A and B are shown apart, each in its own frame.
Chain A
Amino acid sequence: MVKNMKEQKSELFFVEIREPDEVRKHILETLKEVLELLQKFESFKHLRHKKMERIDKLRVLMRDTNKLMGVLKAKLPQTSLKGMVPKHHAPKHKKAEAKKKEEKAEKVPKKERTELDKLQSELNAIESKLKSFT
């Protein structure tokens, strides 16, 4: 048994680490840098949070401005420049087709409109109004 232990001890090998102080120093420096990075990450998170807050504020401000512009529009007289141009009476059959289309549109179940859809329809309405100016 003792002999066996002696044999095992004699089989142990060691590898010399060259410049061990340098390795130790490098490891400690790396550790320090990683910790600094983690610290920076925390401040980055704070920055991002602040930025998100500002973006939310911006969204609210945009909505408020949009509402105010609506109020402004409502305060101004409802005139359309198209009205100045002599109206062309659409043929009756076209009117009938338009009615049919409207009826069809009503039959289709309305999907729940998202904020984006609402904005898009608002944009379309404004664009069509702008077209009437040109």
Chain B
Amino acid sequence: MREERSGAPVFVKVDDYKEILDVLDMVKGKLNEIRSTLDNINELRNHEDAEVSMWNSTINEIEKKVESIDKMIFEPGQPW
């Protein structure tokens, strides 16, 4: 159902109308590009997050190793 509006009707020249359609097409194209770029950025961000969490686990392992080295060195055997 068409919405009724008060006021005078608005007309657009046929040439302008065609141009408007063209511009709308261009806008749609740009929006598609924006969507794919955003998806790309999201993907890269996910990669980054995965990398950072991997760093975290690696750092945890390194910390454990250094701790055990520390223990081994500071719990020496008999001095001689």
A residues sitting closer than 8 Å to B (CB atoms) are 13-19, 22-23, 26-27, 29-30, 33-34, 36-37, 40-41, 43-44, 47-48, 50-51, 54-55, 57-58, 61-62, 64-65, 68-69, 71-72, 75-77, 79, 81, 84
Residues of B within 8 A of A16 (CB): 76-80
Which residues of chain B are near A22, meaning CB under 8 Å? 72
Total A-B residue pairs with C-beta atoms closer than 8 Å?
109
User: Which 10 pairs of residues, A with B, have the shortest CB-CB distance?
Assistant: A16-B77, A84-B7, A51-B44, A65-B30, A15-B76, A30-B65, A54-B41, A58-B37, A68-B27, A61-B34
Interface residues of B toward A: which range?
Answer: 35 or more
Contact sample, A vs B, 20 pairs, CB 8 Å cutoff? A14-B79, A15-B76, A17-B72, A17-B73, A19-B72, A30-B65, A30-B66, A33-B65, A40-B54, A43-B51, A48-B48, A51-B44, A54-B44, A61-B37, A72-B24, A76-B20, A77-B10, A77-B12, A79-B10, A84-B7
B58 touches A36 (CB 8 A): yes
